[in-house]
Amino acid sequence: MSELSCPNCGAPVPIENKASVYAVCSSCKTLSVKKDVNLEKIGTAGELADDHSIIQLGTQGNYKGTPFRVIGRIQLKFDLGFWNEWHLTEGDGSSAWLGEAQGSYYYTKLKTGISEDRIPVLEGSNNPVVFTPNRREQITPGDSFYLEENWTLKEIMTATCVGGEGELPIGFETGYQATLLDLASEDGLFGTLDYSESPALLFSGHFSKLEELNLTGLREEGVSYNQTQIPARSIECKGCGASLNQFSPDFSKSLACEYCGSVMDTESEELKIIAKFDNVSRDGVLLPLGTPVKLPNFPESKVIGVLRKSTEVDGETYTWTDYLLRSRGGYAWLNENGDNWTYFEPLSGTPKWAPSHKRVFEKRSYKWFSSSDSNTDFALGEFYWKVSSGEKAEIEDYISPPYMISSETTYREQFWSKGTFIPFDMMKSSIPLDTASKLRKPEIVGVCEPNPFKIRLKRNFWVAAALTAIFFTFQVYGCVKAKNQLVYQGKFRYVQTSTSNAEIGSPDFRDNSFVTDVFELKGNPTDNVEIQIEAPDLDNKYLFFSAALINEETDTAYDTSIETSYYHGVDDGESWSEGSRSDSKSLAEIPPGRYYLRLESQSDFRPGTGSEYNVKITRDVMSPAPFFLFSLFLWLPLIYTAFRSFSFESRRV
């Protein structure tokens, strides 16, 4: 580190980083440029505003294993407040930047060697418009373009330089205006295109949580990450004189009066009125300003602002309420829609696109749910931007219950947030009892409310699949093990007569009531017997058989019935058929021995006509019927659960 003298007052000005070219004297605010071994005055740095930053010159930290030290700062002011760009010198002497705004931090480095003809073109200053380098297409928030890698434009902002301090690698001029483009990539990178110089400068890096920076030597001695908010203060409304609480002076930029609707600029000492809401009704505001919220797995917070929003779909107006929560670690939103609650946290990046109009964030896939326009109808409390009536945005929601990701896009900005569904009972237990008593149990399905039937459906599916596989294995094993021994086979003819016999004595006919020859059944007492009858020539008729398997030695009879029927025809030009020309019955646990079969038959044939039929008797048969019957009862509940799951999803709003 070298130490030079201020060209204005002679005070020592340390130069710690070899890349530093400019320096600001801490005593007289003289802005100098380094010339060889001396400093040459080129202007005066403006007075920095007190933005309540906990960082100061000399603060040290370590980001992902890289040690750094704060040696300079440029302070900018834009619509949402102040933005600090802290100049860092890393352990190896290289430069980096730490952006700071609204409690968010961005660790970036300057990208060099970018050709000017590849940088998006900026036109205009008050309302700048961005075009592709060839000027053929306009780039608006949410659009993507390529510059070293694929970027998505998140925000177009115009900032004014307030001042600077310490040593810097680039120059600045107090009061100059710069247009900045905030960028994000699908790989989680953060970027800024700074058009204060020509060609524009690209800074690229990552969003960082405060605790990831491992900061020491902060602004106040002994300050901790949980002690960075300044106390609340009381403000008199410039519209109606009511006394209002400003819970977070270091965070909020505007305050909307809950009595008269006047919106005051809290960054101006005179608290000038910058907007006014005509609607000041607090009907439907379930969480009053100042309500503490202690949700599990989220930071303890307090309600500091309320927005009532609406959209119109197919001629019908839908409304919801957003509650701005302030915690020691930052801010979040609590959304109430149809008495359902969702906790939203801001996202620094842009979720990736996936097939079928889906988005992927943190390896989780979200399917598209809805797109709509939103209008701000009513506001009360404080906000981190200058809120106004009629603010409009395009909203797009993607869901993966119990989570969702949403984007709000205006002509100047695209903002992404991640929502987590909050069950009703959890919400009630997270706020004071007197407030919780006003909550209503939801009657409609929430946007990202988990589908309980879908969870059961998945569980039941795997249970049914596992049991089916097990039973199928046993079925296959049984079929392989079964002997399927044919013990008897005969061919007979049925003839319809007015008596019980048909042409008695003819060798071609049998009594319609008769017994077969004796056959032997071998095997185990637990083996079954299958009796199968087939009438291949049956046509628009039926054959019914009363069958009895009789043990020749014991006269024990095992009775059953078998029916074959087959009908067909043409109705209104369409063919139809029903029934089957064959049927079988299984008799369980038939002991071994000598048996014969007694058959008694009847039919609807005309007298003198009939049909041939075949009789088969098989020992030890494994029938697939039990498997299919078991599967039917096993999968029926699954079908019911699937129907309930579909019904639940159809009611999601």
Same domain, 488 and 614: yes
Q: Is the pLDDT of residue 160 over 70?
A: yes
Report the pLDDT value the prediction gives residue 1, as an integer from 0 to 100.
Answer: 67
Same domain, 200 and 134: yes
385 and 495 housed in the same domain: no
For 378-392, write each residue's pLDDT tens digit: 999 999 888 888 889
Residues 379 and 445 in one domain: yes
| CA gap 211, 225 in Å, rounded | 8
Together in a domain, 617 and 636: no
Question: Do residue 438 and residue 545 come from a single domain?
Answer: no
Of 402, 430, 450, which residue constitutes the final position of a domain?
A: 450
Give 630's pLDDT tier (boundaries 50, 70, 90): confident
Is 458 found in the same domain as 429? no
pLDDT at position 268 is: 81
In this predicted model, what pLDDT tens digit does every residue of 339-369 receive, in sequence order? 999 999 988 778 988 888 899 988 899 999 9
- Do 121 and 130 form a contact (C-beta atoms < 8 A)? yes
Work out the average pLDDT over 247-271. Answer: 88
Do 505 and 635 lie in one domain? The reply is no
Residue 225 above 70 pLDDT? no
pLDDT value for 136:
83
pLDDT digits (tens, 9 = 90+) for 110-147: 998 888 889 999 988 778 899 998 888 899 998 989 99
DSSP 203-267: EEEEEE-GGGG--BS-SSTT--TT--PPPPEEEE-TTT--EEEES-TTT-SEEE-TTT-EEEETT
| Residues 303 and 444 occupy one common structural domain | yes
| Domain-embedded: residue 220 | no
Residues 32 and 55 in one domain: yes
Q: What is the DSSP letter of 413?
A: B
554 in any annotated domain = yes
What pLDDT does 223 receive? 44
Query: Who wins on pLDDT, 29 or 489?
Result: 489
Give the number of domains in the chain. Answer: 4
Q: Which domain holds residue 465?
A: 453-480+628-650
- pLDDT, tens digit, 9 for 90 and up, residues 586-615: 998 999 999 999 999 999 888 888 899 999
Strand partners, 307: 322, 379
In this structure, the answer to whether residues 104 and 93 fall within a common structural domain is: yes
Domain boundary residue, one of 398, 428, 450: 450
Q: Is residue 227 part of a domain?
A: no
Radius of gyration of the chain, Cα coordinates, nearest whole angstrom: 42
Q: What percent of the chain has pLDDT over 70?
A: 95
Query: What number of other Cβ atoms are within 10 A of residue 480's Cβ?
Result: 8
Give dist(CA 318, CA 316) in Å, integer.
Answer: 7
CA dihedral sign of residues 640, 641, 642, 648:
positive
Reported as a single tens digit per residue, the pLDDT across 38-90 is: 888 888 888 888 777 889 999 999 999 999 999 999 998 887 677 899 999 99
Q: How far apart are CA 631 and CA 69, in angstroms?
A: 69
Residue 498, pLDDT score: 61
Mean pLDDT of 157-167: 89
Whether residue 226 is predicted with pLDDT greater than 70 in this model: the reply is: no
What b/e string do you get for 538-567 counting C-beta neighbours within 10 Å, with b at 16 or more?
beebbbebebebbbeeeeeebeeebebbbe
Q: What residues have CB less than 8 Å from 502, skipping those under 6 apart?
A: 495, 509, 511, 512, 610
Q: Which residue has the higher pLDDT, 629 or 216?
A: 216
Residues 501 and 429 in one domain: no
Mean pLDDT of 274-278: 90
Q: Does residue 225 fall inside a structural domain? A: no
Give yes or no for residue 329 having a pLDDT over 70: no
pLDDT tens profile 261-275: 999 998 788 889 999
pLDDT tens figures, 470-519? 878 877 777 777 888 999 999 999 988 864 444 434 444 445 789 999 99
How does pLDDT run across 78-118, given as a tens digit for each residue?
876 778 999 999 999 899 999 988 778 999 999 988 888 89
pTM > 0.85: yes or no: no
Report the pLDDT value the prediction gives residue 510, as an integer from 0 to 100: 47
| 146 Cβ neighbours under 8 A, 6+ residues apart | none
